[in-house]
Copies of this chain bind each other. A is one copy, B any other.
Amino acid sequence: MSSDSTSPLTAPSPDSPVYQAARRARAAAAELAPLPRAAKDAALLAIADALQARTDEIVKANAEDVARARAAGTAESIVDRLTLTPERVLAIASDVRDVVALPDPVGEVVRGSTLPNGIDLRQVRVPLGVVGIIYEARPNVTVDAAALCLKSGNAVLLRGSSSAYRSNTALVEVVRDAVAGAGLPADAVQLVPGESRDSVRELMRARGLVDVLIPRGGASLIRTVVEESTVPVIETGTGNCHVYVDADADLGTAVEILVNSKAQRPSVCNAAETLLVHRDVAGSFLPEALAALARAGVTVHADERVLALAEGSPATVVPATEEDWETEYLSYDIAAAVVDSLDEAVAHIRRWSSGHTEAIVTGSQAAARRFTQLVDSTTVAVNASTRFTDGGQFGFGAEIGISTQKLHARGPMGLPELTSTKYIVTGDGHTR
């Protein structure tokens, strides 16, 4: 086999601005890698201070993006995510200070031993190198991602939504000035040049220059990056999460976990999208559950058995189609089905889940054990809401995203997930 023939994947040309930015990032990454924590923390504090000092210019640049978005008839929820107020800029600066407080993963000895021949072997954490982030219209991600990459010794190439281009340009200018002022290479943090989709395509083809791409955003963005990138990708975020109410569940607890999983914040990836109920408790659980979902404003997309038990319920209940089982609503909607057994619930989850988070509510130790063994998702929750799958909740301090793939990182990714390792072999002239 030869790769010279029909490969549709071409590297960006050396003249491309994206390629040049990636080469500058690579050079910056080489400078960052050996830096001690103190140097990186000083730069992060300088970033936080600069964000506060230059809030006015950031908010002004953002106002232009917001005005354009409104003029283009953008949905108000998206405009809200795009908007930066002085308070929000202060919150972003505060998040950067939180990253300062986190331990530096670089240099951590993951394992180490003296081999039988006397060689000392150590496996130590090192930065990944150059990290590319492709994301949607959330300007806070610009600074969050830059701070996490800097702390872990990585250079970052940021490719946000073109609708946030002015905001991101202003934020990155502030960050780069602060980084340079702290004596670190400004090119550690760069916006990917160009607003067109070609620049995204070039970033996805910059294998050898970019070590990993992390797409953050909707399912179609992530799928595109996963399918078209030759740079290794960490897939994030799609969450078709399930709550399974077992025959042995405490039904009051089950209602609380269900409503919290679905409705506490429906727009996020760890919100529940499907309810599965064991047939033995369907008759006693569903009336109470449907009433609680109705109070939370949730529409239920129900299979036939749930429909039959929903008669007279105050809830809005509509018949489910097969599409409902695979839908990540991200809204006040939930699919619901009755299952004959725990194993049928597991089979449903295996077939339809995106592998993010599944919860079981049960009082049975055997059921909890079987469910956690058989369900293969980033997170399996026993008697707890699906909403706990989160770097902050897990105590990681911050997260760059939630990986739904199995390679490299799975689940919430903190600073250690932004590192690789290398082995250091120390001998006294050892040969084989």
| Chain A residues near B (Cβ < 8 Å) | 1-3, 7-9, 30, 33-34, 113, 115-116, 119, 121, 123, 126, 128-129, 197, 200, 207, 211-212, 220-221, 223-224, 226-228, 230, 232-234, 250, 253, 256-257, 260-261, 264, 350, 361, 368, 372-374, 376-385, 387-389, 393-395, 405-408, 410-412, 420-432
* CB<8 Å pairs between A and B, sample of 19: A2-B224, A3-B224, A3-B227, A9-B227, A33-B373, A33-B374, A129-B376, A211-B407, A377-B422, A380-B424, A382-B424, A382-B425, A383-B426, A383-B428, A383-B430, A384-B430, A406-B420, A407-B420, A410-B422
Q: Which residues of B contact A113 (CB under 8 A)?
A: 395
Q: Which residues of B contact A256 (CB under 8 A)?
A: 429, 431
Query: With A232-B232, A382-B426, A389-B425 given, can you name 8 additional A-B contacts, CB distance below 8 Å?
Result: A1-B220, A3-B224, A30-B374, A33-B376, A257-B431, A381-B426, A382-B425, A410-B422
Which residue of chain B lies nearest to A222 when distances are taken between CB atoms in the complex?
B3
| Total copies of the chain | 2
Q: Which 7 A-B pairs have the closest CB atoms?
A: A384-B427, A260-B431, A406-B420, A253-B429, A8-B8, A408-B408, A384-B430
Assess whether B115 is in contact with A223, with CB atoms less than 8 Å apart.
Answer: no
Interface of A is mostly: mixed
Which residue of chain B lies nearest to A129 when distances are taken between CB atoms in the complex?
B406
Assess whether B3 is in contact with A422, with CB atoms less than 8 Å apart.
Answer: no
Which residue of chain B lies nearest to A2 when distances are taken between CB atoms in the complex?
B220
Interchain nearest-CB distance for A174 vs B (Å): 28
Assess whether B425 is in contact with A381, with CB atoms less than 8 Å apart.
Answer: yes
- Bound-state CA distance A197–B3 (Å) is 13
Q: Which residues of B contact A126 (CB under 8 A)?
A: 376
Q: Which residues of B contact A430 (CB under 8 A)?
A: 383-385, 388
Assess whether A1 is in contact with B224, with CB atoms less than 8 Å apart.
Answer: yes
Q: Which residues of B contact A116 (CB under 8 A)?
A: 395
Known contacts A30-B350, A220-B3; A426/B230 CB under 8 A: no
Assess whether B376 is in contact with A422, with CB atoms less than 8 Å apart.
Answer: yes
Assess whether A385 is in contact with B432, with CB atoms less than 8 Å apart.
Answer: yes
- Bound-state CA distance A232–B405 (Å) is 9
